[in-house]
Structure 1
Amino acid sequence: MNTREVAEIPTGPVPVPSVVAELAKGDDITPVWENELGGLTFRLDARIGGSRYVKWVAHGTPEIDLAAEADRLAWASRWVRVPRVLGQGSNAEGSWLVTAPVPGRSAVDTRWLADPATAATAIGHGLRVLHDALPVAECPYTWSVADRLARADERIADGEGPGDWFPEHRHLTVAEARGLLDDAPPVDRLVVCHGDACAPNTLLHDDGTFAAHVDLGSLGVADRWADLAVAAWSTEWNHGPGYDHLVYAAYGVEPDPERIAYYRLLWDLA
Structure 2
Amino acid sequence: MSIPSLPRAIPELVLREAAGQRVEAVWTNGLGGTTWQIGEGEDRDFIKMGPEHPEFDITGEIQRLDWLAEFLPVPSLVSCGFDDDGVWIRTKGLPGSNAVAPRNVTNAAPVVPALGRGLRRFHDALPVDECPFDWSVESRSSLLRNPFEVSIPAPRAEHVVVCHGDACNPNFLIGDDGEVSGFVDLGRTGVADRHADLAPAVLSLGWNFGDGWTDAFLSAYCADGLTVDRDLLELYIRLWNAE
TM-score class, shorter-chain normalisation, is: over 0.9
What SS is found at the alignment partner of 1:179?
A: coil
- 1:16-46 CA distance string (max 9 Å, x none): 1221111111111111111121111111117
Specify the code of the residue in structure 2 equivalent to 1:13.
P
Q: Report the counterpart of residue 33 of structure 2 in structure 1.
A: 39
Counterpart of 2:57 in structure 1 is 65
Unmatched segments (≥5 aa) in structure 2: none
Aligned to 1:51: 44
Task: Name the structure 1 match of 2:234.
Answer: 261
- State yes or no: 1:17 paired with 2:19: no
Q: Which runs of 4+ in 1 moved over 4 A?
A: none
User: What amino acid sits opposite 1:265 in the alignment?
Assistant: R
Q: Equivalent of 1:202, from 147, 166, 172?
A: 172
Counterpart code for 1:39: G
What corresponds to 1:89 in structure 2?
A: 81
Matching residue of 1:186: 154
Q: Match for 2:188 among 214, 218, 234?
A: 218
State whether structure 2 residue 86 is matched by structure 1 residue 99.
no
CA contact (8 A) 2:115 2:179 kept: no
Q: Please state if 1:232 is matched with 2:202.
A: yes
1:8 deviation in Å? 1.2
Cα distance, 1:257–1:50 mapped onto 2, change above 3 Å:
closer
CA distance in 1, matches of 2:206, 2:15: 36
Kindly, what percent of the aligned residue pairs are identical? Answer: 39
Q: CA deviation at 1:92?
A: 3.7
- In structure 1, give the amino acid aligned to 2:231: E
The one-letter amino acid of 2:149's match is: G
Gaps of 5+ in 1: 1-6, 157-173
Residues 46 and 93 of structure 2 are in contact (CA less than 8 Å); yes or no, is this contact kept in structure 1?
yes
* TM-score of the pair, normalised by structure 1: 0.83
Q: 1:190·1:221 contact (CA, 8 Å) conserved in 2?
A: yes
Residue 257 of structure 1 aligns to which amino acid in structure 2?
R
When normalised by structure 2's length, the TM-score is 0.92
> Do the aligned partners of 2:112 and 2:217 also contact (CA within 8 Å) in 1?
yes
- Correspondence for 2:221: 251
Q: Tell me which residue corresponds to 1:108.
A: 100
Q: What is the aligned residue count?
A: 238
